[in-house]
Amino acid sequence: MTELKNLHVEKRETTLVITISREKALNALNKETVAELQQVFDSHQDDDSIRAVVITGAGPKAFVAGADIAEMSALDAAGGTELSAGGLALTMTIQTFPKPVIAAINGFALGGGCELAMACDIRLASEKARLGQPEVNLGVIPGYGGTQRLSRLVGRGKAMQLVLTGEMIDAAEAHRIGLVDEVFPPEQLIDKALEMAKVIATKGPLAVAAAKGCINRGLDVDLSAGCDIEKNAFGGLFDTSDQTEGMKAFMEKRKAEFTGK
């Protein structure tokens, strides 16, 4: 892996903790940061020592305040399309990453920051977090999947309201509408995210990956196609040692020792 300038990446037991570290620009995503995030996810795709990922932002103020406006301001249509393609590739990599990804939203999650959080599987927020898609204030629209993932998470009306007004909402409102899953006092946020990652790490990794895939893929197809996706994934797990071990451990009244095989 080449040296990372904008991220701090640390392995805590089986959890990879990625901290976006451009505090002076409220952790705004410049192209280099997007490329570094892509590199980190790509290089851990097959890393069996990692069972979950936590993404957060450096400092007390921001998770990510959006794509880097200074960098973006001079782009033409081709440049804008290319920028969007890079962010969309990253968010799709996160959504299809074989391990769960938890966003620990420690402050502003705006524009590309909200979109990054929405690509994650679970969103935990600090009571101080503020979220929104303010792109219309800049004469553009969300470009890292916001018009697509926000409506899938909170429904068409709320997505329209947030994207068309560009207004920010606080953590309590984000929780109420289903944009974040749990809210914690700021000082507890990272520990709660790590705790959740640790709980997931005790489960069968193949089952966790299959469940994530089924939920995500199922949302893009009709119910019966989604149920077929589930049936095939469910059946496939019966060919794994983890299924044998998980059910044997239950019957022997002991904790399962999953190997991810």
| Burial tier of 237 (Cβ tally within 10 Å: 0-12, 13-18, 19+) | middle
249: its two tokens: 């451990």
Q: Which of 9, 17, 26, 207 is the binder for ligand CAA (CB under 6 A)?
A: 26
Is 115 labeled as catalytic in the residue annotation?
Answer: yes
Q: What gap in Å lies between CA 48 and CA 157, rounded to an integer?
A: 40
Does residue 86 touch ligand CAA according to CB under 6 A? no
Q: How far is the CB of 57 from ligand CAA (least distance, A)?
A: 11
Given the residues 36, 115, 245, 252, the one annotated as active site: 115
Does residue 65 touch ligand CAA according to CB under 6 A? yes
Q: How far is the CB of 13 from ligand CAA (least distance, A)?
A: 33
Do 65 and 28 meet the contact criterion of CB atoms below 8 Å apart? yes
Do 112 and 104 meet the contact criterion of CB atoms below 8 Å apart? no
Interface characters, 126-165, with ligand CAA (x: CB under 6 A):
--------xx--x---xxx-x-------------------
**Could you tell me the CA-to-CA distances from 222 to 42, 159, 213, 233, 234 in Å, in that order?**
30, 21, 15, 17, 18
Does residue 98 touch ligand CAA according to CB under 6 A? no
Stretch that binds ligand CAA, among 37-45, 108-116, 150-158, 193-201 (CB under 6 A): 108-116
Do 53 and 93 meet the contact criterion of CB atoms below 8 Å apart? no
Who's near 79: CB < 8 A, 6+ residues apart? none
Q: Which of 18, 51, 58, 68 is the binder for ligand CAA (CB under 6 A)?
A: 68
Which DSSP helix (H) or strand (E) runs through 57?
strand 52-57
Q: How far is the CB of 138 from ligand CAA (least distance, A)?
A: 6
Which residues form the interface with ligand CAA (CB under 6 A)?
A: 25-26, 28, 65-70, 87, 108, 110-112, 115, 134-135, 138, 142-144, 146
State the catalytic residues: 115, 135
